[in-house]
Amino acid sequence: MEIFLSALRTLWAAIKAQGASKAASELPQGAAQVKAVNEDLAEISAELVRGPVVSSPPAAPPK
């Protein structure tokens, strides 16, 4: 029974180490997702406060 428990502990440690390694490798891609969502948030906030689009008058032809 002790051997079985020891094997389970070893398996658990291996799974935890694998999880840590996977999480570390995924960190940059996760940071990219966070950044993209923050950009979405900024665009929506800007859209909500967007005023009338003022078109600039055509430039006068050179004399």
Partner 1 sequence: MRPPRFSLMTLTILVWVCAILLSCGCGSNLRSQVALRAIADQAKKDCLTVGKKCPDMVKGVDAACVTARSTCTAALECVQAVSTAENRIQSLQETLAAGGDTMTKTIEAKGSEAGARAICKSVGGWNGNLP
Residues that bind partner 1 (CB under 8 A): 1, 4-5, 8-9, 11-12, 15-16, 19-20, 22-24, 26-27, 29-31, 33-34, 36-38, 40-41, 43-45, 47-53
Burial of 3 (0-12, 13-18, 19+ CB in 10 A): exposed
Report the residue number, 34 or 59, with the smaller CB distance to partner 1.
34
How far is the C-alpha of 7 from the C-alpha of 11, rounded, in Å? 6
Output the smallest distance, CB 56 to partner 1, in A: 16
